[in-house]
Every structure is written in structure tokens, then in C-alpha cells.
């Protein structure tokens, strides 16, 4: 008669939770805007656009981006300037950056639609299932908010796991399962939004972390 011995790995779950926590913290740090655009430079660039000097305005806007500024107004204005300068494809890129930071903004969505119509080569392919439904779960939130939510859920998962291990009660375990499922769903939705935007994770991190 053969017998088998199950090897317990009590360290496995804490290790997985710790790794998930590190990744969540990195995502949160990566998604936080590093700096708002300099008001004086933005005003100067806006004035150039209004006086018909879109090319010069683009140089100022792109200088702000290269310097680490990262907010929806900057990308929206950059998109406007590029569109006026005849660069519809570049405008689409800028508007999509603005839309990622400020979803459901009517002005951004309207201008993005105009730019995409002028640059059909920039059209995104239809989202493959399940990316569309997954992305829609958090589509009403900014990526920053999704990152904060993921961190909060991870803290909840870790706290509930500790409570379960220390008390042995069933309730922390049941809540732990629910929080873990929510964390997985939020994480998959975040990834789906990145995939739908065709944004490389490496390029995305480089953009958001740029100083």
C-alpha cells in the first residue's frame, strides 16, 4: 500500500500576497501624475494657439511633457494644437492620453472622435472578448483611481488574511474570498484597458514615471 505525504507550504500565501502588494504599490506609484503643467508656459502656449501659431505652441506643450508634466488639460491642448497644425494622428495620440486621465470628458471625447475621423489609420481594432467587458467595469474611473482601488483592495485582502489566521474565524475568511475576487477583477480590468489602448506597459510606466 502506497502512501503519499502532502507538503504544506505555509509561506506560499503570504509570499503571494507580498508580491501582489509590491506590484500594486508600483502600479499606484506609476499611475500617479508626477507634476502639473507650468501655468505660465501653458498660458503662453494657449496664446500661441489662439493667434494661429500652433507649431510654436506644440513645441511648448511637448516641452512640458518631456519635462514631466502629466495632466489631462496639457494633453488635450496638445491634441488641439496638433490637429490645427494638420497632424491628426498626433492629435489622436494626445487626446487618448487626455481621455485616460479624464474619462467621460465630453470635450475630449468629441475632439478625439474628430481626430480619429481625420486619421482613420489610427483607428483601434475592435476589442477582443473579454477585454471590452472587463475594461468597461472601470471605464468610468481614471487609471489613477483604479490604481488606488487596487491598493485598497490588496490592503483589505492582507488584513483579512491576518485576521483569519490569528482568530480562525469563518467571517474573515469569507470576506477574504470576496475581497480577493474583487482585487482580481479590478486588476484584470486595468490590464484590459491598457491592452485596448494598445499601450505597452513598459512605455506606459516610462511615461508616468518620467521626471
The tens digit of pLDDT for each residue in 32-64 reads: 544 566 788 899 999 999 999 999 999 999 998
- Distance CA(199)–CA(201), nearest Å, equals 6
> pTM of the full predicted structure?
0.60
CATH class of segment(s) 39-122: mainly alpha
Answer for the pair 20, 150: CB distance below 8 angstroms, yes or no. Answer: no
- Using DSSP's 3-state secondary structure scheme, residue 68 falls into coil
Residue 201 has a CB neighbour count (10 Å cut-off) of 12
Three cell numbers, residue 197: 489602448
Query: What average pLDDT does the structure give for the chain?
Result: 76
The tens digit of pLDDT for each residue in 137-183 reads: 787 777 777 877 888 888 888 888 888 888 878 888 888 888 888 88
Answer for the pair 151, 22: CB distance below 8 angstroms, yes or no. Answer: no
pLDDT grade for 132, boundaries at 50, 70 and 90? low
Which segments of the chain does DSSP mark as H helices, in order?
A: 12-31, 39-50, 54-66, 72-84, 88-101, 106-118, 131-137, 143-167, 170-196, 201-209
Amino acid at each position: 500500500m502506497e502512501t503519499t505525504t502532502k507538503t504544506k507550504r505555509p509561506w506560499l500565501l503570504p509570499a503571494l500576497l507580498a508580491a501582489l502588494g509590491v506590484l500594486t504599490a508600483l502600479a499606484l506609484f506609476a499611475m500617479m501624475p508626477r507634476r502639473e503643467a507650468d501655468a505660465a508656459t501653458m498660458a503662453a502656449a494657449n496664446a500661441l494657439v489662439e493667434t494661429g501659431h500652433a507649431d510654436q505652441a506644440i513645441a511648448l506643450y511637448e516641452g512640458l511633457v518631456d519635462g514631466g508634466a502629466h495632466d489631462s488639460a496639457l494633453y488635450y491642448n496638445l491634441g488641439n494644437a496638433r490637429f490645427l497644425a494638420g497632424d491628426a494622428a498626433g492629435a489622436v495620440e494626445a487626446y487618448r492620453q487626455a481621455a485616460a486621465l479624464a474619462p467621460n470628458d465630453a470635450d475630449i471625447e468629441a475632439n478625439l472622435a474628430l481626430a480619429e475621423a481625420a486619421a482613420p489609420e489610427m483607428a483601434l481594432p475592435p476589442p477582443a472578448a473579454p477585454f471590452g467587458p472587463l475594461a468597461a467595469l472601470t471605464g468610468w474611473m481614471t487609471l489613477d483611481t483604479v490604481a488606488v482601488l487596487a491598493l485598497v483592495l490588496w490592503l483589505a485582502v492582507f488584513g483579512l488574511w491576518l485576521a483569519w489566521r490569528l482568530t480562525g474565524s469563518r467571517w474573515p475568511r469569507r470576506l477574504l474570498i470576496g475581497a480577493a475576487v474583487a482585487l482580481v477583477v479590478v486588476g484584470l480590468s486595468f490590464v484590459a484597458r491598457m491592452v485596448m489602448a494598445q499601450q505597452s506597459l513598459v512605455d506606459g510606466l516610462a511615461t508616468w514615471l518620467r521626471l
